[in-house]
């Protein structure tokens, strides 16, 4: 018999939101429960719930307190969180994301390889061989935090973050991997860059990737990057959606 799932912590987040917390650290199992509850709320909506925001370890639930009281909402969320999860196997989207590693597109590749005691080519091989999942979207629009990084590639972030990192940066930081959509500051190690736009305000959908999506990286050279970057700038979809 399968042991019952432990109840989550339900925490007030102001007057119109609660946080459903499954853990205190970056943990794959906790993230799976977050995504499972998010799916359950989509399949079995609770009257009064307006929006959900998944993170690594918790789900933020915005609600209308005039339509549902905190105690009632907490009880319903707890019951859903402990129910057998709705399988996502048939709904999971799989993406092949092209990445140009090293050189001007991955200025931290060589230093990171040295810190890890690896050849640059081996770092690329291990990073591209990973099976990643979008754990959450955050920090800036479209910034995709990925679970599934090879533990041998875990590397502390830079002590002094850069003030500018290019859009499309593919990087690692701690036990995480990530895809940065917009240019901005970052303390992560920049291994490469993708021409894929994970966020475009004029596109439908605005966000290409969603929590729960599976990601596979494909190394490309600088010439191919330029070709795909021009295509993406013209509005073409250069990320390939594949069948599992």
CB 127, CB 217: distance < 8 Å:
yes
Question: Closest Cα partner for 53 from 72, 34, 66?
Answer: 34
The whole-number pLDDT of residue 83 equals: 87
The full DSSP string for 33-72 is HHHHHHHHHHHSPPTTEEEEEE-SSEEEEEE-TTTS-HHH
9-82 under CATH 3.30.1360.40, yes or no: yes
**Whether residue 79 has pLDDT greater than 90:** yes
9-82 and 94-242 share one CATH topology?
A: no
**Whether residue 206 has pLDDT greater than 70:** yes
Mean pLDDT of the chain: 93
Q: Where are the domains of the chain?
A: 9-82, 94-242
Distance, CA of 96 to CA of 98 (rounded, Å): 7
The full DSSP string for 185-239 is EE-SEEEEE----SB-TTSSSSBS--TT-EEEEEEE-HHHHHHHHHHHHTT---S
CATH numeric code, 94-242: 2.40.100.10
What pLDDT, in 10s, does the model give residues 80-124?
A: 999 887 766 667 899 999 999 999 999 999 999 999 999 999 999
Distance, CA of 111 to CA of 109 (rounded, Å): 6
The whole-number pLDDT of residue 90 equals: 66
**Whether residue 12 has pLDDT greater than 70:** yes
What pLDDT, in 10s, does the model give residues 53-74?
A: 999 999 999 999 999 999 999 9
The whole-number pLDDT of residue 1 equals: 45
């Amino acid at each position: 018999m399968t042991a019952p799932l432990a109840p989550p912590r339900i925490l007030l987040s102001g007057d119109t939101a609660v946080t459903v917390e499954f853990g205190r650290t970056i943990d794959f199992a906790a993230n799976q429960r977050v995504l499972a509850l998010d799916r359950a709320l989509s399949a079995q909506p609770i009257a009064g719930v307006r929006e959900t925001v998944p993170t690594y370890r918790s789900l933020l639930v915005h609600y209308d307190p005039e339509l549902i009281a905190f105690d009632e909402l907490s009880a319903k969320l707890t019951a859903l969180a402990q129910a057998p999860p709705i399988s996502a196997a048939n709904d999971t989207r799989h993406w092949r994301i092209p990445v140009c590693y090293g050189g001007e597109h991955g200025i931290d590749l060589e230093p990171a390889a040295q810190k890890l005691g690896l050849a640059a080519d081996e770092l690329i091989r291990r990073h591209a061989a990973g099976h990643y999942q979008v754990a959450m979207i955050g920090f800036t629009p479209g910034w995709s935090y990925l679970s599934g990084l090879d533990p041998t590639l875990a590397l502390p972030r830079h002590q002094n973050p850069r003030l500018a990192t290019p859009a499309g940066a593919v990087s690692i930081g701690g036990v995480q991997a990530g895809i940065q959509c917009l240019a901005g500051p970052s303390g992560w190690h920049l291994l490469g860059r993708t021409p894929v736009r994970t966020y475009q305000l004029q596109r439908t959908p605005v966000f290409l990737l969603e929590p729960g999506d599976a990601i596979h990286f494909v190394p490309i050279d600088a010439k191919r990057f330029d070709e795909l970057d021009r295509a993406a700038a013209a509005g073409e979809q250069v990320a390939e959606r594949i069948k599992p």
